[in-house]
Amino acid sequence: MAKVVILEKDTLTNGDMDFTPFYSLGDVEFFNSIKGEELKDAVKDAEMVLINKTKYDKELFDASKKLKYIGIFATGFNNVDLIEANKRGITVCNVPSYSTASVAQLTFSFILELASSLSKYNQSTHKGKWIESSTFSYFPYKFSELEGKILGIFGLGEIGEKVAKIANAFNMKVIAYTRTAKAVQGVTLVSKEELFKTSDFLTIHCPLNKQTENLINETTLSLMKPTAFLINTSRGGVIDENALATALKSGKIAGAALDVLVKEPMDKTCPLYNLSNCIITPHIAWTTVEARKRLLTVARQNALAFLNGKPQNSVNDRV
C-alpha cells in the first residue's frame, strides 16, 4: 500500500466534509496545518502527499525522499516548485474548475456591495438611524445601477467567462483583456491599457506568475478612473498592496474589494488593514460547501488515476 500523507485538513473543513473515501488510497495519515521540522517529519516517508497551500520548495523536496506524487487541493499551483518536481520525476496534479461558480458568485457579491452599499445601510439601520429619521427613506450612501456600467475583466478563463455572463444579465458593458484572444458572447476584447482606463469595475481573474506579479501597481492604478472599483479574487500577489493603499487613501480610485492578500493569514502590518474603502474577506471565494465537495472528489480521483498509472490534471508541463 502506498504511504499517503494528507496535509492541511483544517483548511478544507469545519466538520462538514467527509474524508472517509481517501482511506481507499492506501496507508493514509492526516495532518492539520504544520510547519518546520514537524512538516518535514510528516512527509519523510510519504510516497504521495496531498496539500492545499503548503509551500513545496527544494528544502521540503529534500525531506521527501520517497515522494512520487503531489496532489493539490486547489486550482493554483504556484506554491509548488515545478522545476524541482520535474527534476525528481514527481507528478503534480491540481483540481481545475471546481470553484468557478463559487468564485464568480463572490466576485459579483463584491460588485453589488460596491454599487449598493448594502452592508452600510444594514449597519446604519441597526444602529437606529432609520428610527431617528425624519423621512420615510434616507440615502447617505452610494447606490448606483450596474446597468450601462463598464465591467473590465483581466483574464478570460472559465471564471472570467462566468463573471461576464452574470454581468451581461445586468446589462453591463463587458470588456476584457486576455493573453489568448478568443470570442466570448457579450464581451469586447481590449488592450490592457484600455481595460484599466475605461473600466468602472475591474475584476482580476488570472493566475499568479512572473507576468502577473504586481500587475496592479502605481502605473496601472494611475490609469484608472477616480470613480472606479478594483476587485481581486485570484491571488494576492497580483497587487502591490502599498501602491493600492496609496491609491485608496488619495482617492485615485474609489474603492476595492479583495478576497486574497500577499500574506495570508492577514498581518497587522498589511497597508490595506482598516481602510474604510477597502472590503477584505479571508480567502473564502472557493469555500462554498458545493465547491469543497467537488474539490475533495476530484483530488481523490486524481490520486487514484496516478495509482492506476494514468495521471490526470497534471501541471508538470506548466513551468
Q: Comparing C-alpha atoms, which of 316, 319, 318, 308 is closest to residue 89?
A: 316
Q: Pick the catalytic residue from 59, 145, 193, 264.
A: 264
CA 17 to CA 15: how far, in whole Å? 6
Which ranges in 30-117 belong to alpha helices (H)? 36-43, 58-63, 82-87, 100-116
**All 3 cell numbers of residue 27?**
496507508
CA 268 to CA 110: how far, in whole Å? 23
Q: Pick the catalytic residue from 161, 205, 241, 283.
A: 283
CA 199 to CA 228: how far, in whole Å? 7
Q: Comparing C-alpha atoms, which of 168, 237, 241, 176 is closest to residue 203?
A: 176
Element holding 154 (H helix, E strand):
strand 150-154
Beta-bridge partner residues of 201: 151, 229
CA 180 to CA 110: how far, in whole Å? 27
Please list, in sequence order, all residues whose beta carbon lies within 8 angstroms of the beta carbon of residue 287, skipping any fewer than 6 positions away. Answer: 102
Rounded to a whole number of angstroms, the distance between the first and last alpha carbons of the chain is: 31
Q: Could you confirm whether 283 is annotated as catalytic?
A: yes
DSSP annotation of 73: S
Q: Pick the catalytic residue from 235, 292, 294, 300.
A: 235
What is the set of active-site residues?
A: 235, 264, 283
